[in-house]
Structure 1
Amino acid sequence: MATKKEVVEDVWTEKYRPLTLDEVSGQELIVKSLKSFVKNKSLQHLLFVGPAGTGKTTCAIAVARELFGENWRQNILELNASDERGIDVIRNKVKTFARTKAFGDVPFKLIYLDESDALTQEAQQALRRTMEDYTGTCRFVLSANYGSKIISPIQSRCALFRFAPLTEKDVGERLKMIAKKENIHLEQGGEKAILEIAKGDLRTAINLLQASASTANKISEDEVYNVSSKAKPKQIQEVVELALSGKFVDARSRLNTIMIEQGLAGEEVIRQVHSIVMNTNLGISEEKLTELIDKIGEYDFRVIEGSDDRIQLDALLAQIYLIGKKK
């Protein structure tokens, strides 16, 4: 079942997407290079690598807008490689688009392949040949979360740009701008909660703001955590501290209550436990801390591989209890 955050459409994300490269947040060096390409109209194949919500698609669209002006929609083909990841997509859609001339005075079109790291090896080999054959009529812009999954021949044909997670300052400024335009009262606690959950992902931050605004015009910390289906850091910290202090039954009971109230998934709980352990002074030795991190990694792997969430979380709490009992 989809969470509240997943149900929310990217309406605001699209509405407040920058129209030009100058409006892109937090990627100044990349924007500077792209503006130079656009100014000279000598774009080469590009590879954007970085986490979700850091501006990869936004930069691609902004480049198209500045290159082609009013004709930008006719001169760019957007494909999501995670949905269409086979060799037929490269042979049919991409090649068909690449064969035709561009509208306007720019001598090439743009083909934007989002989540290119999801393409199969066969599709990537076909793409490699297509990039060579149609250099005269189109340029490729590829985006990927993991650049290592793109084959070396494609990487060598592209100018590589690495997108870093946005700073809290950049995300906060964008949130305040949107809140002002939408006449929403964003409290300091609400903003801090969004920044904590988003972790540099601007799309997640905007969607959280929208989800919160759909239930209340005054966005507080409680409102944000309610719509995000996440527990407050203090709640998870309380569970960890109970287990470390030897109160396993109380810790398990508290965690069960939190999971039922918030509808949390096991994987999300483990990530929040990891965040608390790494960013909070729990008063334990470095030896215990390293052992605790090792156990968190082990149980995270188990949950991702399909083990039962509740059993693995109980087992993780048991390990935290045992680590706390050691002298």
Structure 2
Amino acid sequence: MAELTTPMDIDGDDNNPSLKPNNKGKNVAVSGPSHGKATPWVEKYRPQSLADVAAHRDIVDTIDRLTSENRLPHLLLYGPPGTGKTSTILAVARKLYGAHYHNMILELNASDDRGIDVVRQQIQDFASTQSFSFGIDNAKASVKVVLLDEADAMTKDAQFALRRVIEKYTKNTRFSLICNHVNKIIPALQSRCTRFRFAPLDSFHVTERLKHVIEAEGLDVSESGLAAVVRLSNGDMRKALNILQSTHMASQNITEEAVYLCTGNPLPKDIEQISHWLLNESFTESFKRISDMKTRKGLALVDIVREVTMFVFKIKMPPDVRVLLINDLADIEYRLSFGCNDKLQLGSIIASFTKARSALVAAAK
């Protein structure tokens, strides 16, 4: 594909906002490791092409083939944060339009007004305006892209208005909707798009991408430190890169302990100790010791609950007791997310384990 060299003057026309480069939403890295040290690694190492996307090769290859054949449909990409949804669409735009793709894409996310007026004015104006750019194949130059990131934040009225806009301007515009919760997108919009689910990245792909960054930045990372970053990221590549960068800023040697201290998460050995108290000590003693550790190490109770829940899966106990205990912990985590009192919820945790311990004793008899 030929490179864009001389965009027409109309592309920079200040009197026509629909033809101006759109810089809203997430900033986009133009090149990889050439960025300065102050650049967040999330943007510095954002994939620049579809081949660079870390995972979901089946989805990426399908979109790549549709793009090459000029059969790109309207897209609805959904799944947890940091799984490559936005990067995939931006890579598609670069493939279609080259380095000056900003002239051919309107990018909006939840930081912008997402009401019905935006659909009727900004999006419709952009979609209805014909764009011409030298250096782009005519078939591709006639099609622009509207990227609606975090589309599940759109109001219902805006989504209903978008239905008609999508139908009306299908000949010259492709709409790409990105969201975390697909159930918040009305069925009428879902039916107009080809849906792809981006699942959380598996540890292998996160590890491989982090190794690339570690090598490029010349970092000193231990195997346990890398494993800790991967574990705490929970399949979120953005979170993994942020943890790696923040830990590097705090410590030259990235170890497991440095990662946990930087993120404020309880160390595995602390969780083992807390679990031991919960299973063996009295209510008063457990409450006192856990409160002391929580205050001394600055731990959040919700993080303790989350880690203890994972530890419960490693403990040998009857399945019915495990299910009841995990359900209790899930209820406590839910209440903590709404700002319930920490002391009351800590008491609930200890009470849940006391009940489970009684059930274990009864089962042993």
TM-score, length of structure 2 as denominator length: 0.82
Q: CA deviation at 1:84?
A: 2.8
Residue by residue over 1:77-136, the C-alpha shift from the partner in whole angstroms, topping out at 9 and shown as x without a partner, is: 111136533222222221222122234331111111111112111111111111112212
Q: Match of 1:4? A: none
Residues 224 and 256 of structure 2 are in contact (CA less than 8 Å); yes or no, is this contact kept in structure 1? yes
* Identical-residue share of aligned pairs (%): 37
Distance in 1 separating the partners of 2:165 and 2:295: 51
Unaligned runs of 5+ in 1: 1-8
Distance in 2 separating the partners of 1:209 and 1:297: 29
Q: CA deviation at 1:260?
A: 2.6
Number of residue pairs matched by the alignment: 317
Residues 74 and 174 of structure 2 are in contact (CA less than 8 Å); yes or no, is this contact kept in structure 1? yes
Distance in 2 separating the partners of 1:256 and 1:98: 58
Q: Structure 1 stretch 243-252 or stretch 35-44: which is displaced more?
A: 243-252
Q: Match of 2:3? A: none
Q: CA deviation at 1:261?
A: 4.1
Map residues 196-207 of structure 1 onto 2, 5 A cutoff. Answer: 196-207=231-242
Map residues 16-165 of structure 1 onto 2, 5 A cutoff. Answer: 16-81=45-110, 83-102=112-131, 103=133, 104=136, 105=138, 106=140, 107-165=142-200
Residues 195 and 205 of structure 1 are in contact (CA less than 8 Å); yes or no, is this contact kept in structure 2? yes
Tell which structure's C-alpha radius of gyration is larger.
2
2:154 maps to amino acid: L
Q: CA deviation at 1:265?
A: 3.2
Residues 75 and 194 of structure 2 are in contact (CA less than 8 Å); yes or no, is this contact kept in structure 1? yes
Q: Match of 1:313? A: 346
Partner-residue secondary structure (3-state), 1:41: coil
1:271 maps to amino acid: R
Unaligned runs of 5+ in 2: 1-37
Residue by residue over 1:140-179, the C-alpha shift from the partner in whole angstroms, topping out at 9 and shown as x without a partner, is: 1111111111111111110111111111111111111101
Q: CA deviation at 1:301?
A: 2.4
Distance in 2 separating the partners of 1:307 and 1:55: 34
Distance in 2 separating the partners of 1:10 and 1:264: 29
Q: CA deviation at 1:197?
A: 0.4
Distance in 2 separating the partners of 1:89 and 1:81: 12
Residues 266 and 310 of structure 1 are in contact (CA less than 8 Å); yes or no, is this contact kept in structure 2? no
Distance in 1 separating the partners of 2:40 and 2:115: 29
2:210 maps to amino acid: L
Residues 240 and 251 of structure 1 are in contact (CA less than 8 Å); yes or no, is this contact kept in structure 2? no
Q: Match of 1:323? A: 356
Q: Match of 1:6? A: none
Alignment pair present for 1:283 and 2:312 = no
Partner-residue secondary structure (3-state), 1:214: helix
